[in-house]
C-alpha cells in the first residue's frame, strides 16, 4: 500500500518511489514464482492524471522455478514493466469500467500487490525452462541429458534380433570370435 495523498490531484504532479518490499504471499504460477520472503525492488513513478494515478516503472524480483524439460529447480529474475492507471473513486474511468477491469485508488492509497500478482500471472511462462537450450531428459531412461551428454542413446532392438545381439555382444564383455 502506498499513500498518495501527498501527490495531490493536480494533473502533472509526479512522485517517484524506490523501495524494496518483502513478499509475504507466493506470487506466480505453479512452476515459477516469487517466493515468500523474497525482496521485490520497486522503481516506480506515480503521475497524477485527471482520471487517477498513472503508475509506471519496473519491479524486479528473484524467482524460483522448475524446468519443464529436465524437472530441475532453477533460480531466475523477474523484471516487470508497468504502465497502469489507478482510477480515482467517482472518476469517469471508474464509472465506465467493469469491476475488476481497472485498478483503483482507495482512500488515497494505492495497493500495488494486485498489480504485481496480475503481471506475474501474465508474464511468467507456463512452461518455464532452466535455460533456453535445456536438452531435457532421455525419453527412454530419464537421464539428465545435460549431464550424460547429447549423444546418449539406447539401442532399440527388435526382439527377434535380441538373441543374436546378445551372442555377438555378450554382457560379460568377452570376445565373440572363438565362441561362434
Ligand atoms: Zn532444464
Ligand atoms: Zn537414456
Q: What is the mean pLDDT of the chain?
A: 86
Q: What residues sit around ligand 2, an ion, with C-beta below 5 angstroms? A: 138, 140-141, 143
Percent residues over pLDDT 70 in the chain: 83
Residue 59 Cα to ligand 1 middle (Å): 25
Least confident of 6-10, 83-87, 95-99: 6-10
pTM across the whole model: 0.76
Q: How confident is the model at residue 175 (pLDDT cuts 50, 70, 90)?
A: very low
86 Cα–ligand 2 center, Å: 53
Summarised one tens digit per residue, pLDDT across range 37-61 is 999 999 999 999 989 999 999 999 9
CA of 173 to the centre of ligand 2 (A): 21
Cβ partners under 8 Å of residue 32, min gap 6:
63, 64, 65, 66, 76, 124, 125, 128
Find the mean pLDDT for residues 2-20. Answer: 80
Domains of the chain: which residue ranges? 2-123, 145-179
Average pLDDT of span 121-133: 96
Average pLDDT rounded to a whole number, residues 24-42: 95
- For residues 32 and 106, the model is more confident at 32
Amino acid at each position: 500500500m502506498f499513500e498518495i495523498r501527498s501527490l495531490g490531484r493536480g494533473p502533472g504532479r509526479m512522485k517517484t518511489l524506490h523501495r524494496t518490499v518483502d513478499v509475504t504471499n507466493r506470487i506466480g504460477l505453479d512452476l515459477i514464482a516469487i517466493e515468500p520472503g523474497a525482496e521485490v525492488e520497486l522503481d516506480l513513478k506515480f503521475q497524477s492524471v485527471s482520471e487517477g494515478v498513472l503508475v509506471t516503472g519496473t519491479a524486479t524480483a528473484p524467482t524460483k522455478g522448475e524446468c519443464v524439460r529436465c524437472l530441475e529447480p532453477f533460480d531466475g529474475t523477474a523484471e516487470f514493466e508497468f504502465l497502469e492507471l489507478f482510477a480515482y473513486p467517482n472518476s469517469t474511468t471508474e464509472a465506465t469500467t467493469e469491476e475488476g477491469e481497472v485498478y483503483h485508488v482507495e482512500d488515497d492509497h494505492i495497493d500495488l500487490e494486485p498489480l504485481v500478482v496480475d503481471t506475474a500471472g501474465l508474464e511468467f511462462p507456463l512452461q518455464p525452462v532452466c535455460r533456453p537450450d535445456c536438452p531435457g531428459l532421455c525419453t527412454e531412461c530419464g537421464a539428465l541429458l545435460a549431464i550424460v551428454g547429447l549423444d546418449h542413446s539406447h539401442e532399440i532392438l527388435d526382439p527377434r534380433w535380441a538373441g543374436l545381439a546378445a551372442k555377438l555382444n555378450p554382457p560379460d564383455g568377452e570376445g565373440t570370435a572363438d565362441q561362434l
